Structure 1
Amino acid sequence: MGFSDARAFCRDLQSHPADPVGDQKFLHTLARWAKRYCPWVGLDGADGLVMDVTGSTHLFGGEPSLLHDIHLRLKRAGLSVRSGIADTRGAAWALAHYGEGIAAQDQLLDAIGPLPVAALRLDEKSSVGLQRLGVRTIAELVALPRATVARRFGAEVLLRLDQATGEQAEEVSPLPDPPRYQVRLTLPDPIGLEADVMAGTGRLLEKLCDKLKVQEMGARVLSLILRRVDKENQEVEVRLARPLRDPLRILPLFERGVGAIDAGFGIDQLRLVATSVEPLPVQQLTHSQARNDNKLDDLISRIGNRIGLENVQRFLPADSHIPERSHVIAPAAFSEPSGSWVALRERPIQLFPPEPIVGTGPVPPRHLRWRRMSFRVERATGPERIAPEWWLSDENWRSGVRDYWKVETKQGRRLWLFYTPQNPGWFVQGQFP
């Protein structure tokens, strides 16, 4: 029904934009969490999980205790859940969607018999057709001759019935384990020279990047683990500014870390692990596209491995007419240069906190002293009135509106001044090139 009609029945009804991709990611996360109860966990549609808890219930004190623990933990996480346990997947699905609880052993039909025929996972056409004939429950469907049901509704209805009652086997297909991006090289004789370690790392990188290419993934964090003959490990970590799977670009980043390791009496094993990966799909290149050599990303990676990727930052435009808020500072490795500054008038290249100067009246003074320097104003352009953002609390803008002026001095400085009419005063806030 429409949203307005639905709110007539439920005044507290709320709506949010659908996010199918986010829902699927969350369901996969929930499936990994559910492996604490059993190793066989699979997806059931777009909003459910199916688990084969055979042989696992005694670890939690039986089926009722297992079900109680699942409900308790999901309730603490803010989730509402419906569940069912039965000897067959079809019966468990029926209990979870149209009933609830546990079907006792050898009493499967008694547990699901009173449920509607839709609990057999039938399509809408078959379910409506059975109900029109007066067959509303599973028990009533079981009482009908099988030949009549097959002739009238097809073999699909009998198949679903047999799967629910256990006459037809139905397996649980667990989710595959995520691929592990790691390679290892065991050496017959220990090595200790930096050149040898780099050569071994290059061979490992080629194999690892081939795995990443098959999965269309790129590495963001790589860890090189060097095992010495005395069983001590030396580790070199490389963090990348962008997802990458090019061995020629990654290998030079290991030189600094490998040169600082202590090889001891020798290294007999090298292991390379991509501890953090991100999607890196293959892109179609055309003759009209400009060649991107990614030198900036390589520079950010090289500097970031020395001082930390979070410390390499860039300015990004922000949607605000306030000069101080017209930009944000973000780590260059985790942001993309995008957008542009939109201003009706020229803005200074250098911006700093307002510095007071001596002046009276709404027109810039002919002579001013700033930072122990005296200037004579030759030309002034303005004013440009900027009002504060009333919906935000900012101590620096409590003086009210500001009238900005661009002044050119005889000494060659081009300054950005503003005047505060409510609390008369002059300030310098920027400098033009």
Structure 2
Amino acid sequence: MFTGTHRRIVSMWFPRLASDRVLRAHPSEAPFVIAARTGSTELIYCLNPAAEQAGLHRGMRLADARSFCPDLISRPAEPARDTRLLRSLRRWAERFCPWVGFEGTDGLVLDITGSAHLWGDEAALLADMRARLERARIEVRLAAAGTRGTAWALAHFGDTEDGLLALPVAALRLAPETVTGLQRLGLRSIGDLTASPRAPLARRFGPDLLLRLDQALGAQPEPVTPEAEPPQFSVRLTLPEPIGLEADVMAATERLLAPLCAKLAAQDMGARRLCLTLRRVDQASQQVELRLAAAMREPARILPLFQRGVTEVDAGFGIDQIRLEATQVEPLPLQQIGPTNQPRPDHLADLITRIGTRIGLENIQRFLPADSHIPERSFLIAPAAFSEAQGGFHAPRPRPIRLFPPEPIHASGAQPPARFRWRRMTLTTARATGPERITPEWWLPDDNWRSGLRDYWKIDTREGRRLWLFYTPQNPGWFVQGEFA
């Protein structure tokens, strides 16, 4: 019945991938579920054995599950993190064979043909897979067969390879509506399908049903396609004679930048980190690392930024090989240009890169708006190289250019004082603008705002100081918190 007797395929199914990912970092023996939102309802997406023993199941409403199991622990679904874990498992599975592909969103498929003897036999290979995943606290169901379809069926529904015909029709990886339609006709097992006329099945359910059946039986091939390796953005230049002059190294770097940037442009990518490796004739190597403030792929912009690092290189008895690699890249798609939209170089990014090579990119920071009326919370400070400039500083009234912790002054009454003393200076109020009442954000703990609301005033003094004062009605007092330009 099976034609692919020499080919061996392993199906690796992770039935609790999402919950295992969370419980590996935060182990718990209590009932645990991963919930995914569908419309306005949260449904159980994945669960651990303790939750199953409590009577819960996939697709169950989370609210109903909590009524069955009051001590239930839940977390929201994070498909992106599950995908990253599955990709990591795919790379790990390459230790067993080079042909490893994805099987849906929770499984892998391996073509171990010619690889099992490295572990002694096929049973030892599967045992090693199972033991390693068990130590990693990841539940797995394994099965090996002569075809990909049979391996998948055995991993999901269990049984021996000779008992394929006794498995339900759902083991053929069919759509749920197709499985329901076959069951209504009384065709509940794969053996029932093989005994039925093919033409009526094809007319009623389409060609996919017979294709899946033939793939499982080995009548139709189904290759295992491994994931394509990501492109490598690196170039190398071997020199016929050693060089040592700074100008020669910069000229060689310029030659390498052109093909590297062409590779980046072909993939619509830009470099954020570059590594220039200089190998000397004594086999010692020196590296010049360049971190860019923005994604770039223009050789003319990148080359001058290497100047400072190349200057500090010790060439020794000469450099005979140079390698340039983009170790960190980001998407940089092409932009539509026109008469009014011409591309201009980002000189600010170049300046940040130049300064960042001396003091570190993280030390060059910018202000970003925050969604808060509280003066201290109305802005964020973030590294300029790793954040985008944003608008959004739309306060109802002007804010001072300098903001500092509140400093008390001696004054009484709810109106701004005519004269007051601040920082050993006696100041006279010439004009007072306000008040602007700001109430505390009660949902955030902040000791500085526990006294209640504040009435802010802009005070222009006759001595030339322009200050930002506020008054606290609950606990009467005046304070200076900022100074205008």
Same fold at TM > 0.5: yes
Deviates more, 1:351-360 or 1:235-244: 351-360
Deviation at 1:241, TM superposition (A): 0.9
Deviation string 1:286-305 (CA, Å, 9 cap, x unpaired) is 22326533111111111111
> How many angstroms does 1:115 deviate by?
1.5
Q: For 1:209 and 1:400, locate their aligned partners in 2 and report how far apart those are by CA, in whole Å.
A: 57
Is 2:167 the partner of 1:109? no
Alignment of 1:2-401 (within 5 A): 3=41, 11-12=64-65, 27-57=86-116, 59=119, 62-69=124-131, 71-72=133-134, 75-76=137-138, 82-97=141-156, 99-100=157-158, 103=160, 108-110=161-163, 112-122=164-174, 127=179, 130-144=182-196, 157-289=209-341, 291-401=343-453
Residues 360 and 178 of structure 1: CA distance in aligned 2, closer, same or farther (over 3 Å): same
What SS is found at the alignment partner of 2:65? coil
Q: CA deviation at 1:46?
A: 4.4
Partner of 1:12, secondary structure, is helix
Deviations for 1:367-402, whole angstroms, at most 9, x for unmatched residues? 222222221111112222222111111122222222
What one-letter code is carried by the residue in structure 2 that aligns with 1:398? R
| Structure 2 Cα separation of the partners of residues 4 and 393 of structure 1 | 30
Amino acid at match of 1:242: A
- What are structure 2's unaligned runs of at least 5 residues? 1-37, 44-58, 67-73
Q: Which moved more, 1:186-195 or 1:289-298?
A: 289-298
Larger RCO, structures 1/2 (Cα 8 Å, 6+ apart): 2
Q: Secondary structure at the match of 1:241?
A: strand
Counterpart residue type for residue 340 of structure 2: S
In 2 relative to 1, CA 91–327 (structure 1 residues): closer, same or farther, beyond 3 Å? same
Contact conserved, 1:185 with 1:269, CA < 8 A, in 2? yes
CA shift, 1:40, in A, is 1.2
Relative to the length of structure 2, the TM-score reads: 0.79
Question: Residue by residue, what CA displacement relative to the aligned partner does 1:124-173 show, whole Å, maximum 9, x if unpaired?
Answer: 67655543442210122234466886788776544433321334432211
Amino acid at match of 1:53: I
Contact 2:275 2:327 in 1 (8 A): yes
What are the Cα deviations for residues 2-60 of structure 1, in whole angstroms up to 9, with x where unaligned? 848965697138896886x7765654444334324432111223443222233445549
The Cα shift of 1:178 comes to: 1.0
Q: Measure, in 2, the Cα distance between the counterparts of 1:343 and 1:94.
A: 62
Contact 1:83/1:100 (<8 A) preserved: no
Aligned residue type for 2:414: P
Give the 3-state SS of the residue equivalent to 2:426 in structure 1.
strand
Query: Percent of pairs identical after alignment?
Result: 59
Structure 1 stretch displaced more, 158-167 or 184-193: 158-167
TM superposition shift of 1:361: 2.0
Structure 1 residue 358 displacement after superposition? 1.7
Partner of 1:419: 471
Pair 1:178–1:145, CA change in 2 (3 A): same
Maintained 8 Å contact 2:130/2:140: no
Using the alignment, how far apart are the partners of 1:10 and 1:386 within structure 2? Answer: 39
Distance in 2 (CA, whole Å) between partners of 1:131 and 1:408 is 85
Distance (Å, rounded) in 1 between the aligned partners of 2:296 and 2:318: 30
Q: Which amino acid aligns with 1:91?
A: T
2:71 — aligned with what? none
SS of the equivalent of 1:277 reads strand
**How far apart are the structure 2 equivalents of 1:233 and 1:132?**
71
Cα distance, 1:236 vs. partner? 0.2
Task: Output the amino acid matched with 2:145.
Answer: A
Is the deviation greater in 27-36 or in 194-203? 27-36
Closer/same/farther in 2, CA of residues 147 and 363 from structure 1, 3 Å limit = closer
In angstroms, what is the RMSD of aligned CA positions? 3.0
For these two proteins, the number of residue pairs brought into alignment is 422
Change in Cα spacing, 1:126 to 1:366, as seen in structure 2 (3 Å) is closer
Contact 1:109 1:139 in 2 (8 A): no
What SS class does the counterpart of residue 166 from structure 2 fall into? coil
CA distance in 1, matches of 2:90, 2:75: 26
**CA deviations over 1:173-217 (Å, ceiling 9, x no partner):** 111111111100000100000000000000101010011111111
CA contact (8 A) 2:337 2:343 kept: no
Q: Distance in 2 between matches of 1:10 and 1:56?
A: 48
Cα distance in 2, alignment partners of residues 246 and 362 from structure 1 = 61
Q: CA separation of 1:290/1:210 partners in 2, compared to 1, >3 Å: closer, same or farther?
A: closer
SS at match of 1:62: helix
Q: Give the aligned residue type for 2:413.
A: G
Contact persistence 1:109–1:165 (CA under 8 A): no
Q: 1:195 to 1:138 in 2, by over 3 A?
A: same
Instruction: Specify the SS of the correspondent of 1:201.
Output: helix
Partner of 2:56: none
